[in-house]
Amino acid sequence: MDLATSLSAVTAALALVKELKQIDAQFDKAELKLKIAGLTEALSDAKLGLVEIAQEMAEKDAEIRRLSELLAYKASNLVEQGAFRYFANEAGEASGVPICPVCEKKGLFLKLAQDRSKGAGAVTYVCPSCKANYGYSGIIAKP
């Protein structure tokens, strides 16, 4: 249930309260009971909707917190150079091998590793996690 549905349930409940005020309780007991049943249902719907909305808001807050921490981490630890991002050295400059751009999108900051399995003349840089191959050279950070 979304916010608009919850609000319309509350609006329906308020309309029923208005109708209840106009009923002559002495003479229209059946109608009174019917309106109270309708009021109870409308309020239950509204409550259910609000509980769901509160849960969604808590999940969104948690996601905002996670993304804020991720942005803060990137801002203080990573430096862009060319097509890659690198861990910053003490001077704040790009250093060493880049991190895997594919895994970075998943929130993982993994430095590429050398794959020496094809011999000394065919060393390539690969991601230790997703195994993406970034080729032979030219990816080490330039001073």
The 10 Å Cβ neighbour count of residue 108 is 14
In terms of CB distance, is 51 or 130 closer to Zn ion? 130
CB of 117 to Zn ion, least distance (A): 17
CB of 130 to Zn ion, least distance (A): 3
Rg (CA), the chain: 31
The 10 Å Cβ neighbour count of residue 142 is 10
In terms of CB distance, is 7 or 130 closer to Zn ion? 130
94, 88 Cβ separation under 8 angstroms: yes
In terms of CB distance, is 56 or 73 closer to Zn ion? 73
CB of 133 to Zn ion, least distance (A): 10
- List residues near Zn ion by CB under 5 A: 100, 102-103, 127, 129-130
**Cross-strand pairs, 94:** 88
